[in-house]
């Protein structure tokens, strides 16, 4: 089971940059094609920008053409939570970090095999760790 991290919004605001806070704590989004990991191709792991939980692996990343980093699966089902999101007049599935509740992005059922899912994730909600780095 993933550890649960609970902080006040004030504590998160002190720890995070304004952009990371806006995206992860206020459920914001980046403009398409503006995030640092959209075209990122390095080998490694993508971690939660708030708590460093291992969320996605570069082996599961693909170019969806959507303008956001896209993955067909998380590192495990236990690291993310999914909730219905009806904001902006749409029905979508929001993806959250299981450990700290950070808003990561959304998942859509139009991804590639083997899962058919497209985890469309904001770069601001992620940090990258190159494989082999400690």
Cα–Cα dist 68/105, whole Å: 9
Q: Has 97 been annotated as catalytic? A: no
Cα–Cα dist 118/62, whole Å: 9
Comparing CA positions, the residue from 34, 32, 10, 12 lying closest to residue 97 is 12
Side by side, which strands form the sheet with 44-48? 54-57, 44-48, 126-130
Catalytic residue, candidates 48, 50, 51, 120: 120
Cα–Cα dist 100/103, whole Å: 9
Catalytic residues: 120
């Amino acid at each position: 089971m993933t550890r649960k991290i609970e902080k006040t919004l004030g504590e998160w605001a002190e720890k995070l940059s304004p952009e990371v806070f806006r995206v992860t704590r206020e459920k914001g989004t980046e403009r398409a094609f503006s995030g640092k990991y959209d075209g990122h191709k390095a080998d490694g792991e993508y971690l939660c920008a708030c708590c460093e939980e291992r969320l996605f692996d570069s082996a599961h990343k693909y170019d969806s053409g959507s303008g956001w980093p896209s993955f067909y699966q998380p590192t495990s089902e236990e690291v993310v939570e999914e909730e219905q999101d009806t904001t902006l007049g749409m029905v979508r599935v929001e993806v959250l970090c299981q450990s700290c509740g950070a808003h990561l992005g959304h998942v859509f059922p139009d991804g590639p095999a083997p899962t058919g899912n497209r985890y469309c994730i904001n770069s601001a909600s992620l940090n990258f760790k190159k494989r082999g780095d400690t």
